[in-house]
Amino acid sequence: MSVVSLSTQYMDNSRPLWDFHLLDFPTSEATSTAVMRVHHSLSDGVSLLTLLMSCARSAADPVKPPAMPPLPKRTGAIYARPRPPASAGALAFARWVWSFVLLAWHTTVDVAVFFATILFLKDTRTPFTTTGHHGELHRKRIVHRSLNLEDVKSVKQTMNCAVNDVLVGVTSAALSRYYYRKSGDNETGKDIRVRSILLVNLRPSTSVHASVNMIESGKGSDVKWGNQVGFIFLPLHIAMHSDPLDYIRKAKNTCDRKKSSLEVAFTHVAAEVFFKLFGPKAGAAIFDRMVYHTTTSLSNMIGPVEQVELFGHPVVFVASTTFVPQEAIVVNYQSYVNSVRLALAVDEAQFPDCHELLDDFSETLNIIKGAAVSLGKHNQKE
């Protein structure tokens, strides 16, 4: 059984909604590959990452658990606005109050777009738009490639942004490169609406650390598993720029704008209310319309920062992805040690050249990194 064939098979509801497959043959990267398929009703990506971290051991010292990822600087919600101290002055206080005005306005706009998307607002038809029909299970091919995490961090430092901003910018640039090559469209100023559903973890920023510690101390039953995610509609900038860093600037502006909104909290609550009030079928129908009216899904997760072992076997790479029947392409990033594993789940019939699309991502990152290095040298001279 191949990974491609798994995408066309429904999970057996009479059994636990997960299965484990061992592909016991060598590849260019590993001697064998373990594939775990889990229904999203059981867990989200952060829960599965916590499970991996608790089961793994440090390859350098198998007695110890793996080192935890560094704690993020942010401790509260992404939309949190800490009150400035009294010594900051009236101007700082006025800016703090104004941030809540913007928060309310941005939330109102995002909620309106959410309902408009469910009702009528569709993305522009592009080579990334699914050509399948409702209820069809198309074969999904999962292709992946390792990107250099240090390259991503180098761009991050030069552009004074977050790693997620860089990855969103690289995604926009790579999809733009593919779009203009395949479509033959020469109107670079054309307004193309391409949106991704970006999954956002709603747990505290220290949740992975706390959960692994509880499991290690024998309190695994206290860990909150399941799904604790919301989502936002994140526009992807499809355009051609002479300066490749414009993709990063655009991504940073877009992500900063989304951080000043309660959209992620609203979508989480709305999803729960829909399913509880109208039942799973009605909730699934609403979700289907939302997915059909957008283009792709996007996620980014932080993985182990050192090489780990599972039951004595060294783990070479970790690639996570999501199977969404209604989407022709899903983009996932998973960091592990000093690399970022890009995984694309694509419709096999719609993307027979999926490896060329992978090339677009890796080549785009190299181009953006080169531009960032040049900008950094120019700033140093000044």
Catalytic positions: 40
Place of tokens 């059994």: 15
Chain-centre distance for alpha carbon 215: 26
β-sheet bridge partners, residue 19:
37
Neighbouring C-alpha atoms within 13 Å toward the C-beta of 364: 28
C-beta of residue 299 within 8 angstroms of C-beta of residue 344: no
Torsion of CA 352, 132, 234, 241, to 10 degrees: 40
**Cβ contacts of residue 277 below 8 Å, gap of 6+?**
none
Q: Which two tokens stand for residue 261?
A: 């909104």
Write out the H or E segment, with its range, that includes residue 336: strand 329-336
Write out the H or E segment, with its range, that includes residue 367: helix 354-381
Q: Which amino acid is at 26?
A: P
Place of tokens 């022709």: 328
Q: Which two tokens stand for residue 171?
A: 């995604």
* Phi-psi map region of 278: left, alpha, beta (phi>0 left; psi -120 to 50 alpha): alpha
Counting Cβ atoms within 10 Å, is residue 333 exposed (0-12), middle (13-18) or buried (19+)? buried
Q: Which two tokens stand for residue 60?
A: 């350098």
Instruction: Using DSSP bridges, classify how beta strands 329-336 and 339-347 pair: parallel, antiparallel or unpaired.
Output: antiparallel
Report the distance separating Cα 189 and Cα 241, nearest Å: 10
Collapsing DSSP to helix, strand or coil, 351 comes out as coil
Report the distance separating Cα 29 and Cα 69, nearest Å: 24
Q: Which of 227, 101, 74 has its CA nearest to residue 164? A: 74
Counting Cβ atoms within 10 Å, is residue 342 exposed (0-12), middle (13-18) or buried (19+)? buried
